[in-house]
Amino acid sequence: MMDKVIIFDTTLRDGEQAAGGTLNVQEKLEIARQLEQLGVDIIEAGTPITSPGDLEAVSLIAKEVRAPIICGLAHADPGAVDRAWEAVKEARHPRIHVFLSSSDIHLVHQLKKSRQEILEMACNMVSRAKQYLDDVEFSPMDASRSEPQYIYQILKAVIDAGATTVNIPDTVGYAMPDEFGDLIEGIFKNVPNIDRAVVSVHCHNDLGMAVANSLESVRKGARQIECTINGIGERAGNASLEEIVMALRIRQDFYNLTTNIDTTQIYRTSRLVSELTGFPVQPNKAVVGANAFRHESGIHQDGVIKMPITYEIMDPKTVGIPSSTLVLGKVSGRHAFRERLAELGYSLAEEELNRAFNAFKELADKKRDVTDKDIESLVAEGHRTVSEIYHLDRVQVTCGDRGIPTAAIRLITPDGEVMADAALGTGPVDAVYRAINRLVAVPNELTEFTVKSVTEGIDAIGEVLIRIESDGITYTGRGADTDIIVASAKAYTNALNRLLAAKKARQA
C-alpha cells in the first residue's frame, strides 16, 4: 500500500491574503465547490475573526461543501478560536487551526513575549479548541527561523494538549530544501509523542522554493501539504497545489506516494481561481500555464508528433486541458454548444445556459470560429453578471484623433431604475470611466489596467483586467467583449460592484 499525502488547500485563506485578491462570499463558495470536485482533503476556508464577511463565507462553505474537512484559522486568542468554531460547527468534518509565532525574531520584535509565555498560550488555545471538537491543528509560525529545540518543545506540548495535526510553516519562504527537510527529520526524531499527530508543512515562495521544500518534507515523513491553486498567497505566494500533485503523480517511482486529487479537474480549478481572483496565470507556469504543453522548436514538434513522450512528461488530458481542436460557429446549435460546455467541465443551470448560448450566438455573428477559450470567456462573463449591483446596459463612445473622446453610459440599478450620463475624457476609456463615475459616485483610484486577447486573430475577444483602490483596499474587475472599450466598461462596472458589495458586507 502506498502512503497518502493529505492535500490541505488554503486558496481561500492564504491565497485570498494575496494583495488585491479579495473574493466575495459567493465566489468563495463557488471555488470551494470546485475544490471539492478536485478532491482536496481539507479546505481552509478563511479566518473567521477577521471580518463578518469571512465568518459568513466559512459558515456557508461549512454547510454546503460536505466531503472535505472545512477548516477555520484562528490566531492564539480566545475570541478568535471561539469565532472559528462558530464558523465551522455545521461542517460534516470541522477543523480549527490555531497559529502562534515561535521564532525569537517574532517574539522579541512583534509579540514581546517570552518562550515560556508563548508555550502556555499555544497549549491554552489548543485546549480551548479541543473543548469544541476533536480535529485541531497547531502551527508554530515562522518555524523555519525558530530554534529547532524550541519547536520540538512546543510540538510536544501542543500534542499533549490535543493537537492532532502539527503544521510547520516556512512563513517567510526562507528555508532551503535540505535545511527544511532536516527540520522535519529532526521533529520525527526529537518529539517523543509525534506519532500521535500528522506532520504538515506550509511553505511560502519568496525564494521560489515552496514546492521543493514541500516535496522534500514528504520524503522526510510529512503527510500533509498546505498549498494553493496557482500558488497564490501572501507576497510571492504559497506552494502550488497543481505542481505538488503532478510531481507526486508523475514521479511516483521516486516518491512512492499518492493523493486523493482528481487531476483532470486541475485545469478547470486553475481557470476558475484565476478568473475570480483576477490573478492571471503566467504563460510559463508549470502544469497550468498557456505554454506548458506548447512546443515551439521544430525538433521538439517533430518528436511530439512521432511520440508525445519524447518531449512531454505528462499528457495534457491528465490535468484536464481540453484536447479538442473542434471549433463551433454560426451554424452550431444549442445541442452542440451544450456538449462542448460539458466537455469543458461546465454544467450550467438552464437560465445560465440560455444566457451563455445567446452570448455565443452573438459572438458567432462577429467571429468565424468560436474556440474553447472563447467559450470559457463567455461563461466567465455570464458569471460576473449574476451578483451584480449595477448592470451595464449601454456604452456609446466617439473618439479619434480629431474629436474629443466622449462616452455615454446607461446603467440599471438593482431596483430596475435606468440611469444615464455622459462625460468627456482624454481617451475613450477615460471618458467611459468618468461617465460611470458620474452615475456611481464611489471615490476610487485606478491602479492597474491590462487588456489581452483571448485567442489569436483580429476578431478575438478582448479581456480587460483592472484593479481599483478605495480606502486602502484593492478590488479587481474583469470584462470581456470583442470591443475592448465595452470590455473596459464591463471591467470597471464589475470592480465597482465588488467594491460596493464588500462595503455592504462590512457594514452588515
The yes or no reply on residue 242 touching Zn ion (CB under 5 A) is no
Binding mask 121-160 for ligand KIV (x = CB under 6 A): ------------------x-x-------------------
> Helix H segments across 232-329?
241-250, 252-255, 266-277, 298-306
> Nearest 5 degrees, angle CA 136-CA 137-CA 143?
155
Q: Which stretch binds Zn ion (CB under 5 A): 8-16, 129-137, 186-194, 409-417?
A: 8-16
Site string for ligand KIV, 84-103 (x = CB under 6 A): ---------------x----
Nearer Cβ to ligand KIV (170/463):
170
Report the residue number, 198 or 412, with the smaller CB distance to Zn ion. Answer: 198
Beta bridge partners of 391: 412
Ranges within 14-53 binding Zn ion (CB under 5 A): 14
C-alpha cell recorded at residue 389: 449591483
141 binds, among ligand KIV, Zn ion, none (CB under 5 to 8 A by kind): ligand KIV
Q: Residues in contact with ligand KIV, total (CB under 6 A)?
A: 9
Residues comprising the chain, all counted: 508
**Cβ of residue 370: shortest distance to ligand KIV, in angstroms?**
42
Stretch that binds ligand KIV, among 167-175, 285-293, 335-343, 404-412 (CB under 6 A): 167-175
Helix boundaries (H) for 39-176: 52-64, 78-88, 104-106, 115-132, 148-161
Stretch that binds ligand KIV, among 52-60, 164-172, 247-255, 299-307 (CB under 6 A): 164-172
DSSP string, 299-316: HHHHHHHH-GGGT-SS-G
> In this complex, which beta carbon is closest to ligand KIV, that of residue 48 or of residue 169?
169
Contact window for ligand KIV (CB under 6 A) among 151-159, 166-174, 396-404, 454-462: 166-174
Measured distance CA(132)–CA(129) in Å, rounded: 5
Q: Which residues of 247-269 are buried (b: 16+ CB within 10 A; e: fewer)?
A: bbbeeeeebebebebebebbbbb
Question: What's the rounded Cα separation, in Å, for the pair 19 and 82?
Answer: 27
Residue 227 CB, shortest distance to ligand KIV, in Å, is: 12
Residue 285's contacts (CB-CB under 8 Å, 6 or more residues apart) are 230, 231, 240, 292
Does residue 169 belong to the site contacting ligand KIV (CB under 6 A)? yes
Q: Which C-beta is closer to ligand KIV: that of 125 or that of 397? A: 125
Which cell is 424 given?
Answer: 468627456
Q: Which is nearer to Zn ion, 170 or 376 (CB)?
A: 170
DSSP structure string for 7-28: EEE-IIIIITTSTT----HHHH
Cβ proximity to Zn ion, 42 vs 429, nearer residue: 42
Taking CB under 6 A as the binding criterion, the range among 165-173, 342-350, 382-390, 457-465 that sits at the site for ligand KIV is: 165-173
User: What's the CA gap between 59 and 183, in Å, rounded?
Assistant: 35
In the range 202-231, which residues lie near ligand KIV by CB under 6 A?
202, 204
Residue 304 and residue 284: Cα distance in Å, rounded?
Answer: 19
The interface partner of residue 99, options being ligand KIV, Zn ion, none and the CB cut-off 5 to 8 Å by kind, is ligand KIV
Longest CA span, the chain? 79
Per CB under 6 A, residues contacting ligand KIV are 14, 99, 139, 141, 167, 169, 171, 202, 204
Binding site for Zn ion (CB under 5 A): 14
